[in-house]
């Protein structure tokens, strides 16, 4: 069965940066499962998986514009230290969920200088090409409920 709109796809992957460092992998875990055509994975990878079948193995390079996007300078901001009430030590690398006009946004602390904290709302891999090694494990028809909800449900049904 070929990967196409409204198919549930299970695949193993290893994600590397251009230096060859492993950034993420499904090794030792269950394969990643998604509903094809529902925007559940980065667009460039979803596009490359279309038409493939179980058993296929491929290497895919996804440029940043079809991955986690380009870096948006407007998402890097300086905020007052007192915006982090209840957090004793704010340090670079820490992540927080900020409430914005557009809804919640995960931000990463980039720098702390006195009473000023620089946060970055860009995805950590924004602006970076993504290099995937993929092994397609299974392709099946999605259930009507999965299509309606826009994502895969677990073996026991609805899990959200």
Residue 46 pLDDT: 97
**Among residues of the chain, what percentage have pLDDT more than 70?**
96
pLDDT of residue 155: 61
pTM for this entry: 0.82
Reduced to 3 states, what is the DSSP secondary structure of residue 46?
Answer: helix
**Rounded distance, CA 11 to CA 49, Å?**
10
Question: Tens digits of per-residue pLDDT, 34-61?
Answer: 999 999 999 999 999 999 999 999 999 9
For the chain, the domains span 7-68+126-149, 73-120
Domain 73-120 has CATH 2.40.50.140: no
pLDDT band at 156 (very low <50, low <70, confident <90, very high): very low
Mean pLDDT across 120-142: 96
The gap from C-alpha 83 to its chain's centroid, in whole angstroms, comes to 27
**Residue 21: φ, ψ to 5°:** -75, 135
Q: Does 3.10.50.40 match the CATH number of domain 7-68+126-149?
A: yes
How far is the C-alpha of 58 from the C-alpha of 10, rounded, in Å?
Answer: 14
Closest CA to 130 of 32, 15, 39: 15
> Residue 116 in contact with residue 80, Cβ under 8 Å?
yes
β-bridge partners, 103? 100
Query: 7-68+126-149 with 73-120: one CATH topology?
Result: no
Contact 19, 100 (CB under 8 A): no
Percent of the chain with pLDDT over 90: 88
Place of tokens 């994600």: 15
């Amino acid at each position: 069965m070929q990967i196409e709109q409204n198919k549930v796809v299970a695949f193993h992957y290893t994600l590397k940066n251009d230096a060859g460092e492993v950034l993420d992998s499904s090794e030792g875990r269950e394969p990643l499962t998604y509903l094809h055509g529902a925007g559940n994975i980065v667009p460039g990878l979803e596009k490359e998986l279309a038409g493939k079948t179980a058993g296929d193995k491929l290497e895919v390079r996804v440029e940043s514009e079809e991955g986690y996007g380009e870096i948006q300078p407007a998402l890097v901001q300086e905020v007052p230290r007192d915006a982090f009430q209840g957090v004793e030590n704010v340090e670079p690398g820490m992540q927080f969920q900020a409430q914005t006009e557009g809804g919640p946004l995960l931000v990463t602390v980039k720098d702390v200088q006195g009473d000023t904290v620089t946060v970055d709302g860009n995805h950590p891999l924004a602006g970076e090409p993504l290099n995937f090694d993929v092994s397609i494990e299974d392709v099946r028809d999605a259930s009507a409920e999965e299509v309606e909800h826009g994502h895969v449900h677990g073996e026991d049904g609805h899990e959200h």
